[in-house]
Amino acid sequence: MSKVICAHAVSVDGFITGRDPGAGRGLGDASMLFDWYFDGDTPSQVFGGFKLSAPSARLFDALAARVGAIVAGRRTYDDSDHFGGGSPHPGARLVVLSHRPAPEITDRQTLVTTGVHDAIAAAREAAGGKDVGLMGGGVVTAALRAGLVDEVVLHQVPVLIGGGRPFFGELPEHVRLRLVEAVPAPGVTHLRYEVAR
């Protein structure tokens, strides 16, 4: 069965955006969280336009190649200008999890309003046997609460942002992780964990 993974660029103090993120403003004052996508000399084999360091490209492309569908939360969807009617991943279908209608949804996107279980089930169907990626702190937290996450990948950027949206929300209990891989790279350290069951 496909795995459910979340992989986010995150500050050392746990933020995935800075202050004042939103449509047309991206990550707010935290654009440095994505600098490592473009600071290298190795083109990504999955994402056109990305030029990463060699160690980042190896790990990033291996993860990206596994993903067949993405579940994103409504705030992430809106803040990202609806991903231009497509998906944040060039080869993956987008499922948007929302509790309210989204009239801007296109035929290349799927809206699910009945909760995280149904959104992940729809993404698994769309993924064609590949893994499901999660995007946005709210979706990740909901999936962790439901026990649906298999891997957590932190692309940890060496900065303390001091404010913005945190990656993880409050959880009702501890979620134990097992470190599988740690890859230091220029401007980022990649930490890949399995969720211990």
What residue type is 130 in one-letter code? Answer: K
Q: What is the pLDDT of residues 108-135, one digit of tens each?
A: 999 999 999 999 999 999 999 999 999 9
Q: What is the pLDDT of residues 67-95, one digit of tens each?
A: 999 999 998 998 888 999 999 999 999 99
Three-class SS state of 60? helix
CB crowding 163-177: b at 16 or more within 10 Å, else e:
ebbbbbeeeeeeeeb
Structure token pair of residue 45: 């084999």
Q: What is the mean pLDDT of residues 40-64?
A: 97
**131 contacts 104 by C-beta, under 8 angstroms:** no
Residue 80: the pLDDT is 86
3-state secondary structure 123-183: HHHHHCCCEEEEECHHHHHHHHHCCCCCEEEEEEECCCCCCCCECCCCCCCCCCEEEEEEE
Q: What is the mean pLDDT of residues 142-148?
A: 96
Residue 79: the pLDDT is 84
Task: Name which residue leads in pLDDT, 102 or 141.
Answer: 141
Across 44-58, 68-82, 171-185, least confident range? 68-82
Residue 6: the pLDDT is 96
For residue 123, give the DSSP letter: H
Inform me whether the pLDDT recorded for 20 exceeds 80: yes
* Angstrom distances, CA of residue 185 to CA of 152, 158, 182: 18, 11, 10
For residue 122, give the DSSP letter: H
User: What's the CA gap between 86 and 91, in Å, rounded?
Assistant: 10
Inform me whether the pLDDT recorded for 1 exceeds 80: no
* Cβ neighbours of residue 90 closer than 8 Å, sequence gap 6 or more: 46, 47, 48
* Cβ neighbours of residue 156 closer than 8 Å, sequence gap 6 or more: 10, 11, 12, 188, 189, 190, 191
Q: What is the mean pLDDT of residues 16-24?
A: 85
Residue 197: the pLDDT is 87
